[in-house]
Structure 1
Amino acid sequence: MSRAFVFPGQGSQAVGMGKDLADAFQTARDVFGEVDQALSQDLSKIMFEGPEDQLILTENAQPALMAVSLAVVRVLEKDGGMDLGKACALVAGHSLGEYSALAAAGAFSLADTAKLLKIRGQAMQKAVPVGQGAMAALLGLDLEAARAVADEAAQGEVCTAANDNAPGQVVVSGAKAAVERALVIAKEKGAKRAVLLPVSAPFHCALMQPAADAMAEALGNVTISAPVVPLVANVTAAQVSDPDEIRRLLVEQVTGAVRWRESVLAMKEAGITGLVELGSGKVLGGLVRRIDKSLSGSSINTPQDIETFLESL
């Protein structure tokens, strides 16, 4: 089977995340310790014990999700003898998961990735005052219909399709009033459901430009190596390996749409038959068959999952 490793984005965090890995593997404990040290913060304590209101803060959730993903990767490599370059043909990640994917493929050091995601989380939170932006899931509308809803709802404000997750599952993002108008318009246009998402900022839209500027500066100060396998980038749904191009696309990604459905289809086109999600939750593994029934999707986030996967290699 030709396999891609994919990495979850925000929303997959939960109190207790990574604790079973830390209990079972010294390698996982080392990853969490290295992230804590890089951030000068006891992030692993928040991950394992909460409180939830601290964990869901964007600046904590983003490095926390990356830490669990990288703990899974390192355990597979160090304890399981897996060679990532041979175990998968491509990597991809949903939004912040793109950083996890790049770290897994050797483009970033673990410490740099943790610091970048801390900066990214803080910058995204600061870009728009709380309560002025919003995101909403439009269920039952395809991308073109969702874009039409966003355009009609904008009325001079920012409102745009931000995440194309799967057929009939598109997220719009922008100014709160515009997104609220989109909820009404979407239902009029036949959406099965249109719901506001419990997020603290309007990600992946033009309102995030201050955060994109912050990431351009931060990414300019870190070393990016060519990944051992290509990344399928969120904003282009195409493969990339060149470090300068990766840097540019990561900046663009802050304000650009996450083209996840197209990314999965591009992976299929490249010969991928199965997507394996590494890290917290099972969101991406679950989306695979909604995007294309011929693809297999699975998730690895527990010691048992790791054992089962290693046996399949």
Structure 2
Amino acid sequence: MTLAFIFPGQGSQAVGMGADLAEAFAAAREVFQEVDDALGQHLSKLMREGPIEDLTLTENTQPALMAVSLAVIRTLEKEFGVGIDKAAFVAGHSLGEYSALAAAGAIGLSDTARLLKLRGQAMQRAVPVGQGAMASLIGPKTDVALAEAAAKEGSSVGVCVVANDNNAGNVVISGAKAAVDKAIEAAKALGTRAIPLNVSAPFHCPLMQPAADEMAEALAAVTIAAPRAPLVANVTARPTLDPEAIRRMLVEQVTGRVRWRESMEWLAAEDGGAVTRFAEAGAGKVLTGMVKRIAPDAEGVALNAPADLEAFAASL
């Protein structure tokens, strides 16, 4: 068995996430306290009690999801003796890439929390509310080629690109609102469903360049070490251990495409990572569902609750 840890991104948040881990394990409580201290806010209380409207604010969602992921990893290490070195690779979806790097020891937990708080704020600042949009193209006909064709139609009136290539049947486009609206109509004409997403900004498109510039400045001041397991990066869908390449790709990721389908295909391929088991560390089961669609021969397991961690550790 070859194992990869994968880390969820925005959309997996829910009020109460991580609460059972904190109740059961001191290691999880320590993670939440360190994140609270780093940010100077009671983020763990917001995660536990809500309201969901505040938790869903990008500047809160990003460090909160990372905190849950790191609570899972620290608990596995300290309570069950399962370290990140059990994994051949790590990967994370968008903000999950920061979780992956923190889990693999490349960036300190406090630094990661502060970076994600800033990332959320910078993304929100980059485009005034209402001027950008994102849409999910869903259906059996949906693939990246169809999404690119729809985005090309939209780009005749403004910025519009493929933002997330999640899996066959699920591709997200992003850009200026008028351009995304036009791309939605084009996608429907091409025979797929197009659902506008309730997001506060058009992530992973060129309109996010001001946020990328902010992140470049912030990341330049942060120590990045070689991760203890290779990171399969969003922007390349290939592994790296090089701290300077990681620093550069975290900046590129703000405006670039999340190449998740390609990343999972490479990880599962015999001439790639040869991964046979994917463990999703953190809130929800979104990535586990994607694994089943992208690599049906591989096993996907979501590590959310104390019983999940206990069963996973026993299975190794």
Q: TM-score range by the shorter chain?
A: over 0.9
1:244-285, CA deviations, whole angstroms, 9 ceiling, x for partnerless residues? 000000000000000000000111122111111000000001
1:113 paired residue number: 112
Q: Do residues 131 (structure 1) and 130 (structure 2) align?
A: yes
Is the Cα–Cα contact under 8 Å of residues 123 and 214 in structure 1 kept in the other structure?
Answer: yes
Deviation at 1:116, TM superposition (A): 0.3
SS in 2 for 1:160: strand
Residue of structure 2 equivalent to 1:216: 216
Counterpart of 1:29 in structure 2 is: 29
Structure 1 CA distance for aligned equivalents of residues 43 and 97 of structure 2: 20
Equivalent residue, structure 2, for 1:159: 160
SS at match of 2:22: helix
- The TM-score with structure 2 as length reference comes to 0.97
Structure 1 segment 224-263 matched on structure 2, within 5 A: 224-263=224-263
Shift of 1:292: 2.0
From 270, 275, 279, the equivalent of 1:276 is 279
Q: Displacement, 1:298?
A: 1.1
Distance in 2, Cα, partners of 1:160 & 1:182: 9
**SS at 1:92's partner residue?**
strand
1:285-296 alignment runs, 5 A limit: 285-296=288-299
Report how far residue 145 of structure 1 moved.
1.1
C-alpha contact 1:76 1:82 (8 A) present in aligned 2: yes
Q: CA deviation at 1:184?
A: 1.1
Q: In structure 2, the residue corresponding to 1:202 is in which secondary structure?
A: coil
One-letter code aligned to 2:300: G
Amino acid at match of 2:236: T
SS in structure 2 at match of 1:163:
strand
Conserved 8 A contact 2:277-2:299: yes
Q: Quick one: distance in 1 between partners of 2:245 and 2:235? A: 12
Name the aligned partner's letter for residue 223 of structure 1.
T
Aligned AA (1:172): I
Would you say 1:4 and 2:16 are equivalent positions?
Answer: no
> Which residue of the partner structure matches residue 145 of structure 1?
146
Deviation at 1:156, TM superposition (A): 3.8
Give me the whole-angstrom Cα distance separating, in 1, the residues matched to 2:197 and 2:96: 19
1:84 shift after superposition: 1.3
* Counterpart AA for 1:133: G
Q: Which amino acid aligns with 2:294?
A: I
Contact 2:163 2:173 in 1 (8 A): yes
Q: Which residue does the alignment assign to 1:187?
A: 188
Which residues of 2 match residues 88-99 of structure 1 at below 5 A?
88-99=87-98
CA contact (8 A) 1:286 1:298 kept: no
Q: Which residue of 1 aligns with 2:314?
A: 311
Q: Distance in 1 between matches of 2:180 and 2:252?
A: 22
Residue of structure 2 equivalent to 1:204: 204
What SS does structure 2 have at the residue aligned with 1:70? helix
Determine the C-alpha separation between the residues in 1 that align with 2:146 and 2:200: 25
Gaps in structure 2 of 5+ consecutive residues: none
Q: Name the CA distance, whole Å, in 2 between partners of 1:4 and 1:83.
A: 12
CA distance in 2, matches of 1:186, 1:11: 23
What is the CA distance between 1:139 and its match in structure 2?
1.0
**Could you tell me how far apart the structure 2 residues matched to 1:19 and 1:110 are?**
19
Question: RMSD in angstroms over aligned alpha carbons?
Answer: 0.7
Give the TM-score taking structure 1 as reference length.
0.98
8 Å contact kept, 2:265–2:295: yes
Aligned residue type for 2:94? S
Percent identity over paired residues: 64
Asked if structure 1 preserves the Cα contact closer than 8 Å seen for 2:157 and 2:178, the reply is no
Cα distance between partner residues in 1 of 2:253 and 2:243: 15
Paired residues of 2:73 and 2:83 also in contact (CA < 8 A): no
Letter in 1 for 2:190: K
